[in-house]
Structure formats: C-alpha cells, structure tokens
Amino acid sequence: MKRSRDTRPERSRPDAGSGSHPGGSGRLSAAALIECLVREPAPPTFRDLLALTGSFDALARKHLRLLVRGMVRTGELIEDLQGRFHVAARTGRDSAALVGVLESSGRDLTFAGVAVERTRGMRLRPGDRVEAVVQGDRASILRVLAYAERPIVGELRIRGREAWVDSLSPDYRGRVALDGPPAQGADGNTVTVRVVGEDRDGLVGEVSGVLSTRAGAAHAAETLLASHGVPVEWPEAVLRAAARLPKQVQPHRHRDRRSLVDVPLVTIDGETAKDFDDAVYAERQRGGWRLVVAIADVAHYVKAGAPLDQSAWERGTSVYLPDRVIPMLPEALSNGLCSLRPHEPRLALVCEMRVTPRGNVTKFEFYEAVIRSWQRLTYTRVQEFLDAGALDVEAPVQASLRELKAVYDVLRSAREARGALDFDTHEAALELHDGHVSAIHPVSRLDAHRLIEEAMIAANVCAARFLEGAGRPGMYRVHEPPDRDKSEQLRQALAYAGIRLGKGEFTPKLVHEALSGLGERPDRWIFEMLALRAMTQAVYSPANKGHFGLALERYMHFTSPIRRYADLVVHRAIKATLHGADAGMSDDWLVATGQHISMAERRAESVGWGVEGWLKCEYIAGRIGEEFDGVVMGVTDFGLFVELTGFYVQGLLHISELGADYFRYSSTGMSLVGDRSGRRFGLGDRLRVRLVDVQPALGKVDLLLAGTAKSSADRGKSERSNGRHEKGGRQEKGGKRSGRRR
C-alpha cells in the first residue's frame, strides 16, 4: 500500500491528542498505534507505519521501531511473514487469527480454502501448520507452528566444515542449511532432509536418510521420482490382483463381442515401445473411408474401486524416463493382457468411423470386440513404406496402410482448414551407455507419426460426441485460450520476426496463419516454441471448455487407457452407455479426479524434463572451459538463455557478462540493448559462448561470451552459485516427447 506523506488520508493519522507526533512532536502511544492499525483496510508494513504516523525524523522513527518491537514481544501486535503488522486476535478489523495446515493448489498454496499471499523470501510448504489471518480471498501467514513432516529431497553438498542440501523438491526451491557435515551421506549423494527450523537465509534441517549414491540415469531417476512423490512400489493387494489375471485371452469366452480377428489391424509405435494400446485399419468405401481405431479394453480388467483401480488413480499416468518406465498399471496388464501384441487375441473397445473426402466424420459407432493385431510396426518402417510404397508385410496390411495415408491426407486438410495448431517438435532422444548419455540425437516428426495422431484425434472427438449424445458425463481434455499477457507476448515475438498477428479475437487459426507466414525460415522452430510456451496448460475436467490448440469444440482422451487414467474413465462411461448401465461416477468424483490426474500429469512431465535436463547437463559437464555455438532462445531483464547447438541444453548468459556497457531490456524488441554501444542481443541471435559452470541436479548451466576474461567468469559463477538470480540457468521446459499427446 506504500502511501506517501502527502497522499495518505487524514483520517488514518492519529491526532496530537492521541499521542501522535507528526513532525516529531509528542510520543505515540500503544493505544494510538492500535487505533491507527484497525482503521487500515490492510495490514501495514513498518514503512507504511512511518507514513501513517508521520514519523519522519530519526528520533520519531527510532521511537516507533522500539514501540512496535515492544508490542510484538507483549503479543499486542503480530508480524506476519510478509513483514506486515496485525492487531493481536484481529485480521484488519474484527476477525480472529486462525490455525491450520497449508495445502497445495497447483503452484499456489491455500489456507482455509483461500490463496496464501506470497512474497519473496517466504519459505512455506504444503503441510506446514501455521497461524494466519484471512481477509477476503487472501490469507496472510503470521508464523509457522510446525513444519511439514514430508522430507525435502536434495543433493548433499559438503565444503570443509560447511554442509547444505540443494533442494530438488518442487515445493521448496533453495538451500537447506545443515549443522555441519552429516553422519550419513557424502558430497553429491541425494538425501532426504527433515526440516527443523529456519534462519534468515532459508530452511534448516537434518539429514534423515541417503536416497541415492549412484550416478547417471539411475541416480537422476531415483532422486526426482522421490522428490516429486511419484509412487513406484506396488501395494501387496495390487500384486495379488495382478497375479490372479488370466494369462491369455480366450476368444470363445467372449462370444457377445464382435470378432475383428480377420481385420488386418496393426499397431504403429516407436522402436522401444512395449505397451501397444491402439491398433488401426482403413479401407476405401463408396463416398469415403471406413476407419477403425481399436483400443485395449483396460476397463474389462480394472474394475472401479478395486485395488488395481485405486493404484491406477493414485499414479494417474505412466512416467516415461530415459532408462525406465513407471507404469500406471502392473506389467501383467501394461505389457501383457492389455498390450495389443501381434498375432495374439485381445479384448478391445472399438471406435469405427465413416470419413468423407472433406475429412469429416459423418458416422461413428463404439462397440466391444475381440481383435488380433496382424503386425507390430514402427514409425520408421511405416514412413519407409509411405516413401517407397513397399513393405515386407501381408498384402491386406499394405492396402490398409495406403488407405490410412489417404485418410490422413483428408483429416490433415480438415485440421488446417479449422486452423488447429501443429508444431514441429524441437526435441532430442538420449542414447545411454552404462547409464550415462553417450549421444544426443534429434527427434524427427514424420508423416507416420501424424497419421496415427490424426486417427487418434478423430476417435477422441467421437468419444466426446458419443457421451454428449447419450447425456452421460465424462472427462474432457480442456485446453483454454492463452491469457491476455501471454497472447500479447506472442504478438510481440512474432512482430520481432516481421510477422503481424492479426487483430481481433485471439484464435488458433490466427496463430496458425501467422506461423505459416514464417515459411521455411531456419529459425521458425524458435517462434513455434514461443507459441507453444504461450499456451495454457491443458487439464482434465468434466466441464467442457473446448480445446484451443486443436480448434475443437469438444475433446476427450480415449486412446491410451494403459497409461492415462482419464482414458480409463472415458472407457467406463462408454461401456456403461453401451450396456445401459450406470457408470457410477458422481459429479464430485469427476471433478476431484480431473484435478488429481491433471496434477499427476504435471508431476510426470516435471520428472521427465528434470531427468533429461540432468543427464544433458552431465553430458556436457566434462567440457567446462570449452566454446560452443548457441542460439538465443529467451531474453529476460537479467540475461539471455542460450541453447547450445546440437546439445539441446540451455544455459544462462548473465547480463553482467555482455560487456562494459549498461544493457536495457526491450520487451517490444525481444532484446537487450547497450546504452552506449547500441549493441543488441536478441531472440534467435547466434552466439559463440564458453561453458563456465554446470550443476546437473539443479539443471543449471552458466555461460560467457567467447573471449571474456577468466576473472569475469569466476565472478559470474560465484554470483550465480549463490542464487542471486531466481532462474539461474535452469533448463527451460521442453515439449513432450511424443507428438501424439494432445
């Protein structure tokens, strides 16, 4: 609130008769100060109190400081963690202070159902027991009464007699001080820490256990899975349930299902995939095509409320890491009964569609079936077939692939006509040897990927249309438009590239047309990445709000029930509708489940990005001092984020290292500009940089311009290792590894 002496309301000043001392005359009493505080609409800081009481000279300031300190000691006033002062047992005017436990709501904390007012320097975590005051829709934390029992996971650092832990837990970023080297754990180990207090610099804790002493992919995976609380062990009840599952499907026991065993369905996945949950087939018919998408019938085996279902709900999604997969379902299902292996009968839920030459799905049908995949194909092999027209598979499979390509062409045209966004991925695959990265390879998105993606999108839309038509609730995949700030940032970025984003309603078609204006520019991927980052994060919800990125009015996830709980929910709703039964999913349950699985998805992505960033940093850590080519991927007021060409890793080139000039940030020009020299560093610029420091666990990479003096490097390294900038070279989050995920 920070009011100046001239603008503060007269009514807020204690008058001379109440003991105030405007201009230093008289002494302010405790009663007068309390009267002043209760008049204020919001708790003031000490600086606010100086203005409110007219304490402008040194003597008056000293008296006010002593008075406030004394009243805090006696309990008449309470100072919260934001440095604001409250009258004891009051919030502003007349509400009592409350005691409760902090909870997490996405990236924010809540207390008693309202958002916690956060300021720089606060060290709060979900689970902390606190005393707080609530005013309207905001809560101010007065003090922490007890720290969350959940330990912090981090990397142990020991330097002589000093020791600390760099937190890797998502609910606390910073250092946890230790009282000297711990009895267990060595420098570089990842450990769990119990918080016991805090000081001016941060939290203080005790090492409660050693989590990992290894290195490489296993070390990174085990650490980040634990730090994000991803369940990795199966409860005993789940293991027993998985052991009771049948070993194979016997078609004669499912005569109530349609038999598609003679239809040449095929699975198309990556080379390393083991869980094949979708199979496809197409044939040309009069006036269009018959498109069949068969999805593993997971709901047949995983019954609502059973142990398998409870553990799947808790996990929410599978987690894919460079050296392992943490599946949503036990291997007996994910790699066995529900994996559409070639030449083995499997139970499936099928979406059969009629696609017109304009790419419209005019008719569709859902039904339960027994299928048999004819081939397990990879994207690479299918692309070779699309390019060369030949593949060593059965003739019916080849015929289906040709028609799948034709269906893809018309669906793709319909996608472009409605203006759906489609970004080419700028991603890399890590090649591991003995748990360490031996090479980094760019990932190409092929027509074979897009072919499957368009077929899955069509089936997902049909799932939403089917449940809506039946008046049944389901789980939508919701992607809302970007907020005004994000859309304006994207508009400025495209303007920097010479592309004007048309005025009017911000639509996906508008963005699509603007990006198309970039043509085949070599830096097009940078602006596509910026557009992707401008988008809001998609979530799961029973309320339909459309899918902005795909330019669709309705959309559900139906095609991956092995690895996504949302798809399992949709399957149950469809199957219940087919059988005229109640799916047993209340509105409250759907809302809670949507929130939980959205969180689980963010958690899985954070772990995946974190592990990949860690391993990329390890890969280059042995090359400190070397020079690299790089491209500017981000511009901020504190420096440039530069991606090292060929390594898919970004580092921070701090503004203090750009030369002997004062650089100002230009948001409209997406650049840093020197006052005296006029030198400009902007988005997409190619630079030669030197690697100064790498902290793999934290994902931090520090850079210098090539040719900068070593002393400057040491200074920059020291400043950044002390945490003087919040984003300190941390890896920017990349895109999802699979183009099929929407």
Residue 719 has pLDDT above 50, yes or no: no
Tell me the pLDDT band of 549, cut-offs 50, 70 and 90. very high
| Residue 728 domain-assigned (yes or no) | no
Predicted TM-score of the model (pTM)? 0.83
| Residue 593 domain-assigned (yes or no) | no
Q: Which two tokens stand for residue 80?
A: 């919260």
443 DSSP β-pair partners:
427
Q: Residue 576: which H helix or E strand, with range?
A: helix 565-578
Domain boundary among the residues 50, 80, 110 is at: 80
With a CB cutoff of 8 Å and minimum separation 6, the contacts of 656 are 639, 715, 716, 719
Q: Among 132, 1, 697, 84, which Cα is nearest to 124's?
A: 132
Is residue 369 within 8 Å of 265, Cβ to Cβ? no
Residue 436 has pLDDT above 80, yes or no: yes
Cβ of 202: how many Cβ atoms within 10 Å? Answer: 18
Residue 518, class by beta-carbon neighbours within 10 Å (0-12 exposed, 13-18 middle, 19+ buried)? middle
Most confident of 8-22, 265-279, 521-535: 265-279
Q: Among 281, 532, 544, which Cα is nearest to 425's?
A: 532
Q: Among 731, 728, 721, 729, which Cα is nearest to 164's?
A: 721
Q: What is the mean pLDDT of residues 713-726?
A: 39
The answer on 259 and 139 residing in a single domain is: no
Instruction: Compute the radius of gyration of the chain from its Cα atoms.
Output: 30
Centroid of chain to Cα 46: 38
Is residue 103 within 8 Å of 126, Cβ to Cβ? yes
Q: What is the mean pLDDT of residues 718-726?
A: 37
Tell me the pLDDT band of 25, cut-offs 50, 70 and 90. very low
The answer on 273 and 185 residing in a single domain is: no
Q: Where are the beta strands (DSSP E) in 447-571?
A: 476-478, 539-541
Tell me the pLDDT band of 517, cut-offs 50, 70 and 90. confident
Is residue 424 within 8 Å of 735, Cβ to Cβ? no
| Residue 570 domain-assigned (yes or no) | no
Tell me the pLDDT band of 598, cut-offs 50, 70 and 90. very high
**Lowest model confidence (mean pLDDT) among 253-262, 448-457, 512-521, 733-742:** 733-742
The answer on 425 and 307 residing in a single domain is: yes
What are the pLDDT digits (tens) for 552-588? 999 999 999 999 999 999 999 999 999 999 999 999 9
Distance CA(264)–CA(278), nearest Å, equals: 13
Phi-psi region of 419 (alpha: psi -120 to 50; beta: other; left: phi over 0): left
Q: Among 427, 483, 425, 430, which Cα is nearest to 450's?
A: 425
What are the pLDDT digits (tens) for 371-420? 999 999 999 999 999 999 888 999 999 999 999 999 999 999 999 999 99
The answer on 277 and 168 residing in a single domain is: no
Arithmetic mean of pLDDT over the chain: 86
The answer on 490 and 400 residing in a single domain is: no
The answer on 71 and 132 residing in a single domain is: no
Domain boundary among the residues 131, 146, 161 is at: 146
Residue 7, class by beta-carbon neighbours within 10 Å (0-12 exposed, 13-18 middle, 19+ buried)? exposed
Q: What is the mean pLDDT of residues 81-89?
A: 72
The answer on 407 and 294 residing in a single domain is: yes
DSSP 244-278: TS-SS--GGGGTTSEEETTS--EEEE-TT-----E
Q: Which two tokens stand for residue 404?
A: 């799948």
Q: What is the pLDDT of residue 35?
A: 77
| Residue 196 domain-assigned (yes or no) | yes
The answer on 117 and 72 residing in a single domain is: no
Distance CA(606)–CA(539), nearest Å, equals: 15
Residue 723 has pLDDT above 50, yes or no: no
Residue 179 belongs to domain with CATH number = 2.40.50
SS3 (DSSP) at 398? helix
Q: At what angle do helices 484-496 and 524-534 cross, to 10 degrees?
A: 170
| Residue 379 domain-assigned (yes or no) | yes
Host domain of residue 486: 481-535
Q: Among 156, 136, 134, which Cα is nearest to 209's?
A: 156
Residue 660 belongs to domain with CATH number = 2.40.50.140
The answer on 192 and 44 residing in a single domain is: no
The answer on 636 and 491 residing in a single domain is: no
105 DSSP β-pair partners:
108
Residue type, 302: V
| Residue 568 domain-assigned (yes or no) | no
SS (H, E, C) 114-174: EEECCCCCCCCCCCCEEEEEEECCEEEEEEEEECCCCCEEEEEEEECCEEEEEECCCCCCC
What are the pLDDT digits (tens) for 652-695? 999 999 988 999 998 777 899 999 999 999 988 999 999 999 99
Q: What is the pLDDT of residue 218?
A: 95
- DSSP-derived letter for residue 329 is S
Q: What is the pLDDT of residue 121?
A: 61
The answer on 131 and 60 residing in a single domain is: no
> How many independent structural domains does the chain possess?
6
Q: What is the mean pLDDT of residues 682-711?
A: 88
- DSSP-derived letter for residue 495 is H
Q: Which two tokens stand for residue 580?
A: 């005229």
| Residue 125 domain-assigned (yes or no) | yes
Residue type, 246: P
166 DSSP β-pair partners:
155, 175
The answer on 267 and 335 residing in a single domain is: yes
Q: Which two tokens stand for residue 576?
A: 């219940």
| Residue 617 domain-assigned (yes or no) | no
Distance CA(724)–CA(733), nearest Å, equals: 21
Q: Which residues of 619-645 are buried (b: 16+ CB within 10 A; e: fewer)?
A: bbeeeeeeebebbbbbbeebbbbbbbe
Q: What is the pLDDT of residue 56?
A: 81
Tell me the pLDDT band of 708, cut-offs 50, 70 and 90. low
Is residue 737 within 8 Å of 320, Cβ to Cβ? yes
